Structure 1
Amino acid sequence: MSEDFLDLSEPDFEAPPIFSDQDERRMHVRAYNYWASLLRGREFPSVTDLDPASLDDFGPHSILLDFTEDRENPRLRYIGTLLREECGLSSADIALDHVPSRSLVSRLTDHFFEIIANRAPIGFEAEFVSQRGNNTLYRGILMPLSSDDDSIDFIYGVINWKELAGAEFEAQLAFEAHEAEGEEPVVASKVEAGVVELEPGDLAGRLAVARANAAAVHTADQRSRAALYRALGNAYDFHLASEEDPAGFTALLAEAGLKVQARAPLTAVAKLVFGADYDKTRLTEFASALGAAVRAGIPAGGFIAFVVSAEGGLKGLVQRERAAKAKSAAVTKTTETVRTRLRATEPLAHIDMQSDEEFVLLVAKKSESGGIDVLEAVPHTQNLLEVALKRLAAR
């Protein structure tokens, strides 16, 4: 899983700014503010000024790496209580290579080489599957420290996380990890945060929200599946709304210079939301995923849960939808062959009955004379007719 990185370096080793307002609610920013407060005009804070055990706020979420003995395999001199519990570690003083590979500490320490190379704090956020098999959203920061005011021989890291399982994961996929910290709702202009939540009043409003969240997929750098699933969920809800407002949908298509293709009707929806110049392969995949939800009768707001619970996730969903469409196309071709044959077939009898349809299903019964008496025409239902034609094709 790729991750987002935030380079917090400042030129000329000037004291970095202290963040405030809503950023104060983020643990990793509070940790950064603490690190900045220890600089005192130096390039790096002194490790002797750090006492993580005394930091009730983020101390239990933190680690201290010591590179003085081994640059390749540093030693963890401090591991916060919550992180030790998450990793199943009994000791707070171990070598890095003894850290479980699928633990939060391993995710936090994966980036220590970047700290040494950049000589500045680095923030990151991503998701992974934990040792317990739960999807885990996390945000962290690594900050350089020094024992001689020159070399980086210690690194202090802080990480915050949320483990999700089952239905909770399905719901959480609708939000980015940073929303779990309780930030204020995002307004329409703040697409950069990765999510736009509005109450659209009409079809054009729904499309605006869907486009905004689709734009976040471009900028998220594959931060997580959440951004993509949310955008597709918006696109699906837009499609359902467009069926209730066909005139509005036609107007939006005309404005975008798009047309609906009978063989791939949902491609137009994908183009409206993600942009007509978006990667064509991806647009086709998105349209297939939307089509799968339509075929399954998923209600508005249910797309994210649908794709998360699907075997193989989005890829599996797309593959099965393509197979279903191929099978449907083959059946359609077969029933068209039957229609062609029936058109050329001499009638067994003629009945004086009016119908607007080319082919009609009739109900008949065996007569006492041994023939068949036609009683009534079945009201036209395309599905019933298709079933009858398939039966004829199978003879």
Structure 2
Amino acid sequence: MNFVSGPLPQNASAPLLALRSPINQFAYDYWKRKCGQRRMPTRDEIVPAEIVKILPHVFLLDVRQSPLDFRYRLIGTKMDEHMNGRYTGMWMSEIPHQAAPSRIWANCRQVALEGAPLAGDTPYVGRNKEFLTTEDLIMPLSGDGETVDMLFVTVGFV
């Protein structure tokens, strides 16, 4: 499967039409509100009480810049149900189907290095065989406004 879209425009005020999932549309609108005039919000600005309806579909990934890797800090309950194992606390490099050069790794890498959100279709690898792909929305977070230190990810199953 190919990407649904490239990096999302930094000045977009409405959800992208390419986002098929209402979960991802809601998350993108929320992320943009939290950005304000900045490139990206901080982790502290993502308030669970404000996104209760999408929390089961959220991942938070820590970003280690050198060497580049991504650690699962939080996995929403719906996401946890569909994964092949318990990944909380694990680095993507430790998970064979997610390590580089997988598509999810490449997408996370792009967002971590460019500091811009990315929407894409990722082949589904998990317990539920009725899904073929997931629509992923990966949005950067930064404590200093420049370096991406966390990824705010939402997933819709297609």
TM interval, short-chain normalised = 0.7 to 0.9
Say yes or no: does 1:153 pair with 2:149: yes
% same residue = 21
1:53–1:80: 8 Å Cα contact kept in structure 2? no
Provide the secondary structure at the position in 2 that maps to 1:151: coil
Aligned with 2:40 (options 44, 57, 64): 44
Residue of structure 1 in register with 2:9 after alignment: 9
Greater fraction of residues in strand: 2
Alpha-carbon separation, structure 2, partners of 1:29 and 1:17? 12
Q: Please state how far the C-alpha of 1:51 moved relative to its aligned partner.
A: 3.6
Alpha-carbon separation, structure 2, partners of 1:94 and 1:74? 8
Alpha-carbon separation, structure 2, partners of 1:53 and 1:69? 29
Equivalent positions of 1:167-316 (< 5 A) are: none
Residue of structure 2 in register with 1:32 after alignment: 28
Provide the secondary structure at the position in 1 that maps to 2:6: strand
Superposed CA RMSD in Å reads 3.1
- Report Cα offsets for 1:284-312 as digits up to 9, x if no partner: xxxxxxxxxxxxxxxxxxxxxxxxxxxxx
Stretches of 4+ aligned residues off by more than 6 angstroms: none
- Greater length-normalized contact order (CA 8 Å, ≥ 6 residues apart): 2
Alpha-carbon separation, structure 2, partners of 1:123 and 1:130? 20
Provide the secondary structure at the position in 2 that maps to 1:3: coil
Q: Please state how far the C-alpha of 1:143 moved relative to its aligned partner.
A: 0.6
Provide the secondary structure at the position in 2 that maps to 1:4: coil
1:146–1:154: 8 Å Cα contact kept in structure 2? yes
Alpha-carbon separation, structure 2, partners of 1:52 and 1:140? 19
Report the count of equivalent residues.
Answer: 154
Q: Please state how far the C-alpha of 1:69 moved relative to its aligned partner.
A: 6.9
1:66–1:75: 8 Å Cα contact kept in structure 2? yes
Change (3 A) 1:25 1:111: closer
Q: Please state how far the C-alpha of 1:107 moved relative to its aligned partner.
A: 5.8
Q: Which runs of 5+ in 1 are unaligned?
A: 163-395
Alpha-carbon separation, structure 1, partners of 2:93 and 2:82? 17
Alpha-carbon separation, structure 2, partners of 1:61 and 1:156? 11
- Report Cα offsets for 1:144-172 as digits up to 9, x if no partner: 1101112112111111104xxxxxxxxxx
Aligned with 1:74 (options 70, 76, 80): 70
Q: Which has the larger radius of gyration?
A: 1
Q: 2:2 is matched by which residue type in structure 1? A: S
Q: 2:7 is matched by which residue type in structure 1? A: D
Alpha-carbon separation, structure 2, partners of 1:26 and 1:110? 24
1:87–1:100: 8 Å Cα contact kept in structure 2? no
Aligned with 1:63 (options 59, 68, 74): 59
Provide the secondary structure at the position in 1 that maps to 2:148: coil
Alpha-carbon separation, structure 1, partners of 2:62 and 2:94? 14
